[in-house]
Structure formats: C-alpha cells, structure tokens
Structure 1
Amino acid sequence: MKHFPESEFIINQDGSVFHLHLLPEQLADKIILVGDPGRVNLVASFFDSRDFEVSSREFHTIGGTYKGKRLMCISHGIGTDNIDIVVNELDALANIDFKTRYEKPEFRQLTLVRIGTSGGLQPHVPIGTPVIARKSIGFDGVLNFYAGRNEVCDLDFERAFCDFVKWNPLWAAPYVIDSDAELVERIGCDDMVRGVTISANGFYGPQGRELRIPLADKDLNKKIEAFKYGGHVVTNYEMESSALAGLSKLMGHKAMTVCSIIANRVAKHANPNYKTAIGDLIVTVLDRI
C-alpha cells in the first residue's frame, strides 16, 4: 500500500488533517459543501442534532444528523484551489490511516454535494432556477495537474468548445468533466435543470465582467452563450464545480454541484435577496442525499 511522508501529508499535533482540522472519526459519508462559512450554520439549522463544530480559516464544519442520516456540512471558500484542499483532505480522512500513514486496504466512498449560487447564461435558467452541473467546464486548470485527467474528461467536448470560442492559448487549458450520473438523478429528480456549468478561475475578468481593466476577449461570453454541442448549451457560471467533480471522479467518490441562479448575465438582472431560494434548495438536497 502507498505510504505518505510528513512533507506530503501533514497531520496536526491533535491528530487532525492539516487545513480542515477534522479528525478521522468525525468524518461522515454524506457531505454538503457550501462556499460561505456562514452558510454552514444555515444548513445545520435544519439538522435534528449537532455532534461537533470545527472552524479553521474559511473551512467551517458542523456534523450532525438529519432524518436519521449522519452527515456534515463544510464550507470551502471561493475557488477551485480551495476545492483541491477540501477534496484531498476529505479523501485522506476516509482512506489514509493517520497512525501508520499508509493507504487503507479497503476504499471508503464519500458522497459530496455542493450547494451554491450562480449566474445564468440562458433564457431557460431564470433567476431562482436550481441548476445541476451535469457537465462542468473548468477554466481553472486544477485537474490538469493530476494523472488520469484525460481518462475521466470529455475530450471531444473540450476540443469543440475551444475551437468554437477560439480559446486563447495563454489561458489554462479547459477540461470538461461529468458529475456522478446516479447522484445527479437522485438529487435532481424531475424538478431541477441539468446544465453545463463553467467553473471560472475568477469572478470578474474570467467571467466576462469588465471594471477598469479591459478584457482580453470582450466577446467571450457571447461566444459561450452561442456554443452548442451534442444537444448541450452552457447554462451558468460559478467557481468550484469542475474541480469537485473531477477530483472526486479520479478518487472514486460521488460528487455533484447544484446552484440557485441569482443573476442572469444575458438579461443583466440580479436578485440579491436570494436566501429563501437557497434555504428551500438546502432542504431538498438534505432530503435526497
């Protein structure tokens, strides 16, 4: 079995994993992920019981039970760089023996569902719509640093997308990854839109927002909105789904992202009072996970 030296896998003095500060015995198999540390309290407000709470930097975790299910909610902050930390450390809690530093002989699979907010890019995803990232297009490049990337990605989709939008070679090579199909059907049922979600590596320029600095490609969003491939169109922007789906698939976990649309980039409308829709979406995910 693979051994993990101290320099590669850091364990805190209290026996917890480096960034998340969680102990192996605290890990639940069903995990809700949110970006905002404050939203963890909102998710946990629906729990029947709370067993523990841990906070470290932007990583806030509450574990408990909901309708007989043991689960936990953890915040990951903003961006796929944080997702790289969270997914790797959750997998370590599940599949590395912290005492011996060896990989465990039996694999433990986790179910990870991210609940987020997003900006819609199509008329059929108006404000308030829950959209599942059935496919994610990663602008971030995180998955490109891992072996096996080509085996889990949709390479034909990637090539078609890059050709259509005339992808700038100075940007990170995009990757296209599917969420876990069974989880998408279980969480989405028949009342959520299945979409193609872009995970951008920034909120402003990488999502086509121009403030004082001009954009390298001012028409990129228009090209993205017009792109079609195999019956798919790009439905929305956010910043984490690609790395979550990609890393989880490489590790053997089940993962997906569902976002409530709080702005429509085409109509240029936004709803800052979106907390009711998020609360309803949280309850739905808790019921179905």
Structure 2
Amino acid sequence: MAGDSEDPNDETQYHLEVGPEDVADAVLLPGDPDRIGTITDRWTEATEVARHREYRTVTGRYEDVPISVCSTGIGSPSAAIAVEELARVGVETFIRVGSCGGIQPDVDVGDLVITSGAVRQEGTSEEYVRPDYPATASHEVIAALVAAAERLGHDYHVGVTMSADSFYAGQGRPGFEGFEAAGSADLIDDLREANVLNVEMEASAILTLANVYGLRAGAVCSVYADRTTGEFRTEGDDRAAETASLAVKLLARMDAAVADSDADRWHPGLSLE
C-alpha cells in the first residue's frame, strides 16, 4: 500500500495553498482565473485568500450566504486536484461555472446548460473508479441551478454533457494542419443522436469525484460555440456566474428547510422561501 502524501503541510493544501478557514462550504469552480471577477462582481463582499499556479481562490458572501470561488485551469486533471484539496479542507458543495460548445440545434450561443450527468470521455475519473460508474450531478444542485435560472429569467437547458480531455481532437475539431483523430468526424453527430447537449472539459471528473466522496456537485456552462452552425461568441459568462451564485444561496435555504423538517434530505415538497 502506498504511503502518505509527500505534502509536508498539515492543513494548507499543496497546490491551492488554502486551509480550512479560507473557504466556505460551497465553492464555484470556473476554469479561467480571469472569470473570477465576473463571478465576484455579483457578491456583496469578496477577498482573495490564495493564488498559486492556475488556482486563484476568493471567499466572500453572496447576499447573506458565505461562498467561495476557485479557478481550476483547463481540463479534468487540474479540476480533480481542486476538488481533492478543497474536500480536504471541508468543502461539501462544488459547482462548475464554465463555457461549452452546444451540439443540439436548440442550444444557442449565450444559453446556459445545466448538467444532469456527463459522458466520461476524460481519463482522470477512470483513475478513481471503473469506467461504467456514472457521472451524475446532485439532484439538489440541479434543482437550485434550475430555480436560479428561472428566477433570473435566463434561457437554459438541462441534460447530459460530454467532458473531453482535448479541446481539438477530443471534441471533433481538426488538429494542426488539418489532422483528424480516428472517429472525430462522427463524434459530434454520434453525441447529438444520443441527445447529449454540450461538450466541455471538466464536469464529468468533478461530478465523479464528488459522488465517490459523498459530496454534492453540479455544473452550469454558458454556450460559446454552436457546433451545429459554426457560430462562436464569448457570451453568457455573467449569466452563468449569477445563476451559480444564486444557486448557492438557494442550496443554503434547502439545507435550512431540511434542518427544520423531519426530512432526511431536500425534496420539492420543501419550500425554498
């Protein structure tokens, strides 16, 4: 059996450089560190608590609710490190806030996609659990994201996401000098036929690790690319940011409703007000 981690720190995490007092129970996970300002602009207060490599962490409050955000960089390997180290300092809820490509005709640039489950085309999660283990979002997080999008009046879709390890070949795009990976020509059509809504690079690993560890997670992504028309615009980051932030507030209300009831977990019969 392998020995303990080589990390010499008792509490401060090696990559994120955060400890238990630095982060809230719920953390938003954008990939790009520059998206953090878009997220925290919606908060009532925000303080940067750590910055190391691709990981920038800010903690504050959304209205009256404690909340944190930590960038993960691009791809599932670095996102998994963020989930691992945040879980070790007590985080219980993770919401990916990112961008994606829409692959269904009714999923337009600027829309939001709320992930109910994910196709595990990335390899990181297979290092944790067998490949037929499902990457599913927490029903509570899905409900909170849907309620937030409805309250904010944003166009959104709920369904299955595909997470890849590659922006180019792994998402059916040509590589350098037109290189085409085996199967890439049919990839998007096959996913579309299976009613997959969007493609991105982190959700399935985040969802898988959260499930394995008994934590809750979800994802909301703004659509940058319409893979059915070729349209591309960096649009919708603000809508994803405010939807995820409001969802954390609604999750806090869900938890309070459970605590005030005889229920074991939140269900639609419990109020969010």
Q: TM tier, shorter chain?
A: 0.7 to 0.9
Distance in 1, Cα, partners of 2:8 & 2:61:
27
Partner of 1:221: 188
Identity, % of aligned positions: 29
CA distance in 2: counterparts of 1:192 and 1:120, whole angstroms:
12
Instruction: Give the alignment of 1:103-118 within 5 angstroms.
Output: 110-118=92-100
Where does 1:251-262 land on structure 2 (aligned, <5 Å)? 251-262=213-224
Gap runs ≥5 in structure 1? 95-108, 154-175, 228-232
Superposition CA RMSD, Å: 2.0
User: For 1:187, which of 125, 142, 145 is the aligned residue?
Assistant: 145
1:238 paired residue among 177, 200, 204 = 200
Query: Is 1:200 equivalent to 2:200 in the alignment?
Result: no
Tell me the residue number matched to 1:263: 225
**1:62: how far off?**
0.7
Conserved 8 A contact 2:33-2:73: yes
Aligned mates of 1:60, 1:219 — CA distance in 2: 37
After TM superposition, list the pairs within 5 Å mapping 1:65-214 onto structure 2. 65-94=61-90, 110-147=92-129, 153=133, 176-189=134-147, 190=150, 192-211=156-175, 212=177, 213-214=179-180
2-structure distance, mates of 1:22, 1:38: 19
Residues 156-208 of structure 1, C-alpha deviation per residue, up to 9 Å, x if partnerless? xxxxxxxxxxxxxxxxxxxx411111210111125631111000110000100
Letter in 2 for 1:210: P
Measure how far apart 1:74 and its partner are: 0.6
Distance, in Å, in 1 between the alignment partners of 2:80 and 2:246 is 27
3-state secondary structure, aligned to 1:242: helix
- TM-score where L is the length of structure 2: 0.81
Equivalent position SS for 2:21? helix
Task: Work out the CA distance in 1 between the residues paired with 2:191 and 2:19.
Answer: 43
Aligned to 1:173: none
Aligned equivalents of 1:119 and 1:245: distance in 2? 19
Which segments of 5 or more consecutive residues in structure 2 lack a partner in the other structure? 249-273
Equivalents in 1 of 2:162, 2:206: separation in Å? Answer: 12
1:30/1:48 Cα in 2 relative to 1: closer, same or farther (>3 Å)?
same
Residues 148 and 250, structure 1, Cα contact 8 Å, conserved in 2? no
CA contact (8 A) 1:138 1:200 kept: yes
Q: Distance in 1 between matches of 2:120 and 2:33?
A: 23
Aligned residue type for 1:222: D
Match of 1:160 in 2: none
User: Following the alignment from structure 1 to structure 2, what is the Cα–Cα distance between the partners of residues 236 and 11?
Assistant: 40
Distance 1:42 1:263, change over 3 A: same
1:7-26 equivalence runs, <5 A: 7=6, 10-12=7-9, 15-26=11-22
Which range is displaced more, 214-223 or 256-265? 214-223
Change (3 A) 1:234 1:53: same
Cα deviations across residues 132-163 of structure 1 (Å, max 9, x unaligned)? Answer: 1111001112222224765xx3xxxxxxxxxx
TM-score calculated relative to the size of structure 1: 0.77
- What secondary structure does 2:33 align onto? coil
Partner of 1:169 in structure 2? none
Structure 1 stretches of 4+ moved >4 Å: 147-150
